[in-house]
């Protein structure tokens, strides 16, 4: 089977969130299953060159692409995805990709990713390589199915190619005004666009992917149902419900080569279910590193997240001061995103030294230390397509406190005193009371070491390896090709 996977982020080359982890893991674990997978992504100024060796592809230099009367020139470099045999094709176009961040609000944002869509197809053409499936991910690559039906329709290379669009987050749709239609080359194909959007002067990348892809997937079973409802569908619920027979929910796996406390290269003390003592040492190390006092009996609650509304920060803000004032707890928070959240956590860190530490920016090593050293991991998302940190947390014995939504609902089970089953603390309603209940329940349980040890054992026994999850993808691909 030949799979072309296009993604705007691929770990370890460039990452802002879980999409990178998932794309990188799929590239690696599909190749382990002997699938011919090739990946397509931009070469950003932020791309990490140190993780692999890059070569220019000699027959893919100074290629031209037209967007109405704008000429884009790009070249292609290739590098192996680490620990795999997978070739990643990097689209080098400094005028588009040398920006201060991977995503921007610049006026040509649509063009930056339209180039990724078209270059993916044109590189396949130049290689004479006909993928069985083109796997698109999120809005940034969602136009590929439409391009196959329009601009590239003439090319018989793609006559048996099928497309699948994975929705990692329906909250980001790539919404622009219709003025870009001409530049994208769709002016003669208005009948293939969404008529409601056209009337409202909108052009929506993700929606066009949902309409034109041969198959759809998303990153957990619960989210696959949720996005068919008005509460979670972000305006696409009717369309998704209409296409539900071709919508598959596959929960994300974890690359345990990266996220396993037994081998994690970023943590000073390795530990595992069978030899758990390193966990306390990591907690002590982390607290000392941030200048906090260590006490085994004081629960340390970690957060690693993009600081955006999706992740439930409004709830955290509402309850945090109460929790800190009425309990003996410490927080360590790593995140970057909206200024108002960054400001709030900085304010709290100044107000409660030795109780709350806040770090901003993207810090991979610190994120591993927080997973290893914290007792609990807080993730009370308003919505969560899958979520990875709660799954990493399970393996690190860092008990997740989550809201029952999307992938959080599928991966964390509420701890029950009576049966001593469960892996975390789960609340249902998106409310301050819900979060306070879960936090208090967790803090209370922590004071009973026997119960806590049991829940840690339950959590650490969970296995969300990509070795297992990737088979679900292969099953889906086969199904699409039937
Ligand atoms: P999302 O993709 O919505 O951000 P996920 O839970 O799927 O959420 O994935 C987030 C990924 O990004 C995790 O690997 C997490 O460790 C990482 N991450 C998020 N914020 C930071 C940060 N500030 N520094 C380092 N890693 C981060
Ligand atoms: C998105 C979602 C997150 C998911 C990730 C990878 O960014 O917000 O829940 O885990 O994609 O699929």
Q: Quick one: which atom of ligand 1 is closest to the CA of 16?
A: 12
In this prediction, residue 402 carries a pLDDT of: 98
Cβ of 369 below 6 Å from ligand 1: no
Return the ligand number nearest the Cα of 392.
1
Q: Are residues 344 and 472 in the same domain?
A: no
Identify the nearest ligand to the CA of 406 by its number: 2
Q: How far is CA 44 from CA 96, 103, 106, 172, in A?
A: 9, 10, 15, 20
Give the start-end residues of each E strand in 242-285.
247-249
Which of 170, 251, 389 is the pocket-test mutation for ligand 1 (most atoms within 8 Å of CB)? Answer: 389
Residue 265 belongs to a domain: no
Q: Total structural domains in the chain?
A: 2
**Mutational pocket test of ligand 1: of 341, 361, 388, the residue with most ligand atoms within 8 Å of the beta carbon:** 388
Domain extent for 440:
278-464
d(CA 278, CA 276): 6
Write the residue with the smallest CA distance to atom 3 of ligand 2: 387
The answer to whether residues 415 and 305 belong to one domain is yes
Residue 365 lies inside a defined structural domain of this protein: yes
Q: How far apart are CA 50 and CA 300, in angstroms?
A: 34
Do 165 and 246 lie in a common domain? Answer: yes
Please name every residue paired with 216 in a beta bridge, in sequence order, or none if there are none: 165, 247
Residue 63 DSSP SS3:
strand
Q: Is 391 in the pocket of ligand 1 (CB under 6 A)?
A: no
Q: Are 82 and 157 found together in one domain?
A: yes
Instruction: Find the 44 Cα to ligand 2 centroid distance in Å.
Output: 21
Distance CA 254, CA 407 (A): 13
- Check whether residue 195 and residue 335 sit in a common domain: no
Strands 399-403 and 247-249 turn out to be unpaired
Mean pLDDT of the residues in the chain: 98
Is residue 322 in a domain? yes
> Half-sphere exposure (CA, 13 Å, Cβ side) for 18?
25
Of 169, 125, 167, the closest CA to residue 147 belongs to: 125
245 and 289 inside one domain:
no
Are residue 424 and residue 443 in the same domain, yes or no? yes
Question: Beta-strand (E) ranges in 354-434?
Answer: 356-359, 376-379, 399-403, 425-427
Tens-place pLDDT, residues 188-229 = 999 999 999 999 999 999 999 999 999 999 999 999 999 999
Output the DSSP codes for 67-133: ETTEEEEEEEEEEEPTTS--EEEEEE-HHHH-SSSSS---TTHHHHHHHHHHHHHHHHHHHT---SE
Residue 158 gets the label, from left (phi > 0), alpha (psi -120 to 50) or beta, of alpha
Q: How far apart are CA 255 and CA 366, in angstroms?
A: 18
* CB 304 less than 6 A from any atom of ligand 1: yes
Ligand 2 centroid to 167 CA: how many Å?
A: 9
DSSP β-ladder status, 87-92 and 70-80: antiparallel
Q: Are 477 and 446 in a shared domain? A: no
**Contact between 293 and 328 (Cβ < 8 Å):** no
In a domain, 260, yes or no: no
Model confidence over 376-420: pLDDT tens digits?
A: 999 999 999 999 999 999 999 999 999 999 999 999 999 999 999
Nearest to 168 by CA among 135, 142, 138, 140: 138
Confidence tier at 452 by pLDDT (50, 70, 90): very high
Measured distance CA(155)–CA(158) in Å, rounded: 6
What percent of the chain shows pLDDT beyond 90?
100
Q: Helix axis angle, 449-460 relative to 432-446, nearest 10°?
A: 110
Closest residue to atom 17 of ligand 1, CA basis: 17
Give CA–CA dist 73/92, Å, rounded: 9
Within a domain: residue 266? no
Residues in the chain: 482
Q: Does residue 24 sit in the same domain as residue 154?
A: yes
Whose CA is closest to 125, among 89, 150, 158? 158
Per-residue pLDDT at 54? 98
pLDDT of residue 285: 98
Is there a single domain that holds both residue 65 and residue 167? Answer: yes
pLDDT score recorded for residue 151: 98
CA–CA distance, 263 with 315 (Å, rounded to integer): 35
pLDDT of residue 246: 98
> Rounded mean pLDDT of 340-369?
97
206 and 290, same domain (yes or no)? no
- Residue 401 CB neighbour total at 10 angstroms: 25
Residues 142-163 have a mean pLDDT of 98
CB distance 409 to ligand 1 below 6 Å? no
The residues lining ligand 2, judged by C-beta closer than 6 Å to any ligand atom, are 17-19, 22, 168-169, 219, 252, 384-388, 407
Question: What are the residue ranges of helices labelled H in 162-266?
Answer: 181-184, 195-199, 205-212, 221-226, 237-242
Q: Is 258 within the bounds of a domain?
A: no
Percent of the chain with pLDDT over 70: 100
Q: What is the mean pLDDT of residues 333-357?
A: 97
Query: Could you identify the atom of ligand 1 that is nearest to the CA of residue 334?
Result: 23
SS3 10: strand
Q: Which ligand is nearest to the CA of 23?
A: 2
**CB of 342 shorter than 6 A to ligand 1:** no
Q: Does 91 fall in a domain? A: yes
Same domain, 191 and 332: no
Q: What is the CATH number of the domain that holds 145?
A: 3.40.50.2000
Contacts of 293 (CB under 8 A, 6+ apart): 287, 354
| Structural contact between residues 336 and 360, judged by C-beta atoms closer than 8 angstroms | yes
Which residue in the block uniquely carries the two structure tokens 């993700």? 206
Q: Which of 304, 336, 370, 466 to mutate to test the pocket of ligand 1 (most atoms within 8 A of CB)?
A: 304
Q: Which atom of ligand 1 is nearest to the CA of 169?
A: 3
State the pLDDT at residue 108: 98
Note the pLDDT tens digit of each residue in 246-270: 999 999 999 999 999 999 999 999 9
CA–CA distance from 409 to each of 89, 169, 311 (Å)?
Answer: 36, 16, 14
Answer whether residue 30 is part of any domain. yes
């Amino acid at each position: 089977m030949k799979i072309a996977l296009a993604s705007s982020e691929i770990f370890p080359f460039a990452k802002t969130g879980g999409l990178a982890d998932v794309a990188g893991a799929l590239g690696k674990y599909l190749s382990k299953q002997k699938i011919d997978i090739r990946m397509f992504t931009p070469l950003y100024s932020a791309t990490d060159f140190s993780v692999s060796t890059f070569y220019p592809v000699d027959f893919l230099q100074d290629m031209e692409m037209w967007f109405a009367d704008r000429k884009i020139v790009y070249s292609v470099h290739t590098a192996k995805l680490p620990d795999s045999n997978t070739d990643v094709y990097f689209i080098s176009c400094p005028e588009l990709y040398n920006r201060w961040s991977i995503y921007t609000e610049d006026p040509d944002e649509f063009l930056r990713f339209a180039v990724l869509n078209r270059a993916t197809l044109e590189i396949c053409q130049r290689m004479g390589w006909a993928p069985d499936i083109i796997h698109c991910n999120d809005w940034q690559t969602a136009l590929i199915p439409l391009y196959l039906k329009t601009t590239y329709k003439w090319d018989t290379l793609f006559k048996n190619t099928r497309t699948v669009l994975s929705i990692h987050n329906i909250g980001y749709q790539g919404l622009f005004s219709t003025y870009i239609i001409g530049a994208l080359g769709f002016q003669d194909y208005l009948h293939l666009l969404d008529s409601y959007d056209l009337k409202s002067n909108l052009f929506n990348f993700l929606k066009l992917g949902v309409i034109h892809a041969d198959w759809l997937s998303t990153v957990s079973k619960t989210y696959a149902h949720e996005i068919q409802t008005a509460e979670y569908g972000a305006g696409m619920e009717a369309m998704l419900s209409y296409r539900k027979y071709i919508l598959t929910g596959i929960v994300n796996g974890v690359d345990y080569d990266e996220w396993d406390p037994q081998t994690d290269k970023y943590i000073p003390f390795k530990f595992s279910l069978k030899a758990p003592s390193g966990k306390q040492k990591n907690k002590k190390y982390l607290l000392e590193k941030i200048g906090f006092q260590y006490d085994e009996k004081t629960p340390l609650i970690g957060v690693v997240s993009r600081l955006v509304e999706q992740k439930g920060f409004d709830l955290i803000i509402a309850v945090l001061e109460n929790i800190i004032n009425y309990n003996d707890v410490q927080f360590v928070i790593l995140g970057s995103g909206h200024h108002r959240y960054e400001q709030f956590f900085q304010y709290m860190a100044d107000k409660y030294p030795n109780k709350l530490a806040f770090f901003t920016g993207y810090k991979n090593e610190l994120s591993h230390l927080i997973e290893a050293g914290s007792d609990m991991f807080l993730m009370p998302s308003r919505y969560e397509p899958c979520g990875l940190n709660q799954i990493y947390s399970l393996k690190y014995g860092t008990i997740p406190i989550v809201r029952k939504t999307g992938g959080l609902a599928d991966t964390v089970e509420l701890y029950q005193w009576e049966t001593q089953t469960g892996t975390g603390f789960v609340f249902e309603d998106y409310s301050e009371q819900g979060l306070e209940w879960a936090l208090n329940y967790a803090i209370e349980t922590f004071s009973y070491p026997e119960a806590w040890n049991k829940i840690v054992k339950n959590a650490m026994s969970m296995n969300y390896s990509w070795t297992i999850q990737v088979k679900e993808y292969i099953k889906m691909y086969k199904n699409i090709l039937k």
